[in-house]
Amino acid sequence: MDAVIAIGSSNEVDGYEAAVAAATAAREELGPDEADFIFVFSTIGYEQEDVLEGVREILGDCPMGGATFEGIIGRNMADESMYAVQVIAIRSETIKFYEYCAEDIVGDPLGAGTKIGQAIKSVNDPGNRVLFLFPDFRSNISQLFEGIERHAMLPFVGGVSGDNLKFQQCHQFHNGTIKEGACSAVLMVGDFELKTIVTHGSEPVGHKRIVTKSQDNIIIEIDDRPALEIASEEMGAPIVAENLATAITLMGIGLKADEATDALSPYVLRAIHGIDFETKSLTVPADVPQGTEIQFMRRDHNGVLMSATMAAKRLKSSLDEVPADARLVCQFDCAGRGKFMIGDDVLKGAMMVQEIFTEPLPWMGTFSFGEISPVDGKNVFHNFTATLAVFH
């Protein structure tokens, strides 16, 4: 991978000043030439117009993609405050970027995915491909994937746009404009190789269950009983409004998958993003058809930390076998693996992963409301995971 990758970050409270500081740091690394593409990741406390204005002030009118997230992950940093911004400027003679924005992803995720897939299909540049996706958390991600893959088959990486765990509002960025209810997508094409790995550190609890009634991504009944009743049993206490945040952070739904070298567990996790206490149904971010076998999963502090370290070691080992020099690491972690779960150990956890890669690599990433990474060649949407994508 032949590219100059310059990353800056800031936690200034003023959005414009934070963006100027982050973009200036990236500009200093980038040198006098202009960037070919800019990623911008921001937390929700800012006036996002100020953030984009500050980036433009320093880096100019450059193609751009990104979104708001629960937190930012970078080299020697893990910031889940309301005020954090990261700017990634990339220049390369052998890699091209194409930015897209599909709107109304919440109301029509299949149509939004189709729009992105059709656009990608028309790109004829040679080389390897990867698609960065930053969709609104309120969308049905499985339908987004379906729409894209009807027209274009390529690996997806990225994170779901969110806020400060309020599940109320998020924003997507597209070439200096701010969107809502959309998906920012960036196609990267050219001379690079990609390796990925996924881990979550969750363990099964209880026994296997069957979804006996569902509608798209809403689980209505499990084992012919209201879904909330089953979830409460596996939690060990009734799930009510007062303990809802704790319940959805500690517990997820596991879907059995095949063993794969790029995943540390045979389960793909789905977070419970919503509970309807009247109908006793559970809402997850992707479709769960009737008849699906599920397993409730629980997490703990130590498992979260150690699983990410184990994943980094396996990924680094696979690079050593090639051999290949990593040039960029992208880390998209679940917001549920951050401060709400492990408290003051968030930075420690990030450093444990980064120290596996002994060289000071450019490091970009976010705490997301869902993670996107392939497993065994298939694009998969995850929750509660740490995902690493290494470009070399």
User: Nearest Cα to 40, choosing from 90, 104, 81, 93?
Assistant: 90
Can you give the pLDDT at residue 342?
67
Top-confidence residue, 350 or 105: 105
The answer to whether 226 and 234 have CB atoms below 8 angstroms apart is no
- Judge if the upstream peptide bond of residue 360 is cis by omega within 30 degrees of 0: no
Can you give the pLDDT at residue 313?
81
Residue 321 clears pLDDT 70, i.e. is over it: no
Average pLDDT score over residue span 113-124? 96
- Residue 131 binned pLDDT confidence (cut-offs 50, 70, 90): very high
Encoded tokens for 144: 């987004």
Top-confidence residue, 161 or 341: 161
Residue 261 clears pLDDT 70, i.e. is over it: no
Specify the amino acid at residue 47: E
Q: Where are the domains of the chain?
A: 4-199+304-391, 203-298
Can you give the pLDDT at residue 301?
65
Angle, CA of 206, 211 and 217, to the nearest 5°: 115
pLDDT > 90 in the chain, percent: 63
User: Nearest Cα to 130, choosing from 69, 187, 169, 55?
Assistant: 187
- In angstroms, the CA 370 to CA 145 distance is 14
Query: Poorest-confidence range of 93-97, 98-102, 120-124, 314-318?
Result: 314-318
Integer CA distances (angstroms), 59 to 25, 27, 53, in order: 11, 7, 10
Residue 323 clears pLDDT 70, i.e. is over it: no
pLDDT in tens, 22-36: 999 999 999 889 999
pLDDT in tens, 45-96: 999 999 999 999 999 999 999 999 999 999 999 999 999 999 999 999 999 9
- Residue 341 binned pLDDT confidence (cut-offs 50, 70, 90): low
The answer to whether 4 and 31 have CB atoms below 8 angstroms apart is yes
Residue 324 clears pLDDT 70, i.e. is over it: no
Helix 15-30 / helix 48-59 crossing angle, nearest 10 deg: 30
Can you give the pLDDT at residue 203?
82
Can you give the pLDDT at residue 206?
84
pLDDT in tens, 201-220: 778 888 899 999 999 999 99
